[in-house]
Chain A
């Protein structure tokens, strides 16, 4: 009896082991974990839909987990430490990708990018590092100026291309409408808070002036003899522009910027394509009254912008081959469908998409095509930079400058504390050097 029992146990163990082996090798049981940071309801629904389609097609299950972008890096790190990394991810900063890649956790997608063709991608979006490309970008996410063209026309103004023109327009469009001595409408609403809103939406003023934080050898040059006058001039410009902004810009959030335009409190507001969705939803009467332009630059020839780039990358998990195949499918066959979930906000990174009739079919794109053309013009000819991508390649250093809020604090020092711009630059440079030395 006892011997029979042992045999049964042995057989059961054998069958269990076989079962384990088969799950390890059978494609049907592969599950890809996709950490998604695009929280728009249409995007999430679309990703879930194509995940089901992929499972039907290949037997590989894709589980989409959606989190707000600032939380993604923490979740990714936790998944790696727990020994079960996500297979496909989004992150907020390209510096997060380099941090993970430098520790050997990221799977390069160079072959996939080369298959599409590097020349198909716009400028400064691939972030190659150590001769490899580590992510698949799908969105430029430019910060552009939304202007009220009807108000510009009323005042006989043309869309500003230079700094002087921008200042003049802001001044002319700051008006007391009902004659009670109080300003009812402001020229421009630039968020100048201590956070991402300022760093993303309002920093193009710096880039148009030619400000750079790092040189090609990663030297910190914000207060170098060549850069100092440009930074001081920019700080004075922010200060001089401030009286033409509505109250609350020092603590303005994303929502405040959107509201300033939709509630017709400001004539010029910086935002990405999401502003158009906001207009469609909350202020449809403005749909034919706005125009999108790049920020001014010194010579007025090249529009300036800041980009909030988005892309996918792969972690080195147990399902690398399957993850690679899914990403390739998503970024080729399913990309246009994905971009349509938030048309105009997802601003394509590939030139071929702009020519694709299938992409252009989207009704919202058709309706707001001039806005997309303006975005394309900035992509083709503009000065594209951001605090976290400044420098010769992707690196943690500019991301530290962003996260330490050194640039917003420098501007706040001038506007809130009334600090002399030269002193504010000195303080900011001191903070940055200390931070970078760590």
Chain B
């Protein structure tokens, strides 16, 4: 068998699965976004770009868009920052390193619903342990989810807690590949630890950094479950982002067309961002 035929045969299952489970649903959603459709069983009426135009004029859409950006940018930034810091720490030699490396991944392997519910109870204003501790040391309790600004801070913080370990593991793996001789040579040259990090570590982990930041950005922008469980997008739409808005429209507000239009615009936005991202940080270079 020729190499080319063999390659096609190997690719075929993946392509078929992608076509059936990704491409077809996407095309269906794209088609629906041009229809006025109350539910999946009601008759659909073609309405052209009406769903999109209505969305672009809707302040709720723009608020959800900005909420999504704020949530994604801050949670990815801190996940990466903490991920690198923990990876550097766990890359050092100390007693109990193996145990800590294993334990550090725990938040990531917990199901999201468990993470959300546990934090929800811990931050509960009436009976939560966090406010109880704050009060014990003399502070007043904090309204973790009742205040619009604080609600966004809380969901972002919980997301960082849950997914920073994934970033840690990725960077830790990348750090294993950095030759120790480079650090030894730099030390001999009198380089400070900060310079060693900037000149050796950072370039070495850059390929991982580029990919991890992009993946985490996509995942956080599309993250639905944790915000839905914690706040349902409230209070007063303060944590409502595009996935929640799309779900609300499609399954709550009898506006399947509008919901799929939100999802399509979100997809387009992410596509543009990824395109720009790779223009700046070339994958080859990475």
Contacts and interface: CB of A to CB of B under 8 A. Distances in A.
Interface of A: 73-74, 77-78, 80-81, 99-100, 102-103, 105, 193-195, 246-251, 253, 256, 259-260, 263, 265, 396, 399-400, 403-405, 408-409, 412-413, 416-417, 435, 438
Given A103-B42, A105-B41, A265-B126, A248 B146 contact: yes
B25 interface: no
Interface in B89-133: 120, 124-127
B41 A251 contact: no
Interface string B41-55: 110000000000010
B252 A404 contact: yes
27 contacts: A80-B41, A81-B40, A99-B38, A99-B41, A102-B42, A193-B232, A194-B232, A194-B233, A247-B125, A247-B141, A247-B146, A248-B143, A248-B146, A250-B143, A250-B145, A250-B147, A251-B144, A251-B146, A251-B234, A256-B126, A259-B126, A396-B254, A404-B252, A404-B253, A409-B236, A417-B148, A438-B54
B126 A193 contact: no
B23 to A, nearest CB: 19
B223 to A, nearest CB: 18
Contact of A412 (B42, B120, B235, B251): B235
B28 to A, nearest CB: 12
Given A100-B41, A194-B232, A194-B233, A435 B253 contact: yes
A412 B237 CA distance: 10
A99 B147 contact: no
B132 to A, nearest CB: 12
B148 A403 contact: no
A263 B124 CA distance: 13
B266 interface: no
Contacts of A74: 251
B248 A403 contact: yes
Interface in B114-168: 120, 124-127, 141, 143-148, 151
A193 B237 CA distance: 11
Contacts of B146: 247-251, 416
Nearest to A195: B232
A416 B127 contact: no
B22 to A, nearest CB: 19
Nearest first, the 6 A-B pairs at minimum CB distance are: A194-B234, A248-B125, A403-B252, A251-B145, A250-B146, A247-B125
Interface string B232-270: 111111000000000010011111001000000000000
B162 to A, nearest CB: 19
A337 to B, nearest CB: 33
Of B120, B124, B235, which is in contact with the most chain A CB atoms at under 10 Å from its CB? B235
B130 to A, nearest CB: 12
B67 interface: no
B39 interface: yes
A77 B39 contact: yes
A263 B125 CA distance: 13
Of B38, B120, B141, B252, which is in contact with the most chain A CB atoms at under 10 Å from its CB? B252
B235 A416 contact: yes
A438 B50 CA distance: 11
Nearest to B121: A255
A413 B235 CA distance: 9
A80 B232 CA distance: 28
A409 B237 CA distance: 8
B136 to A, nearest CB: 13
A103 B38 CA distance: 12
Interface in B164-204: none
Contacts of B248: 403-404
B131 to A, nearest CB: 8
Contacts of B151: 251
Contacts of B145: 248, 250-251
Nearest to A96: B39
A248 B124 contact: yes
Nearest to A253: B120
B251 A250 contact: no
A197 B141 CA distance: 23
Contacts of B232: 193-195
A246 B40 contact: no
Interface in B188-235: 231-235
Contacts of B255: 438
Given A251-B146, A409-B237, A416-B146, A400 B253 contact: yes
Nearest to B257: A438
A417 B236 contact: yes
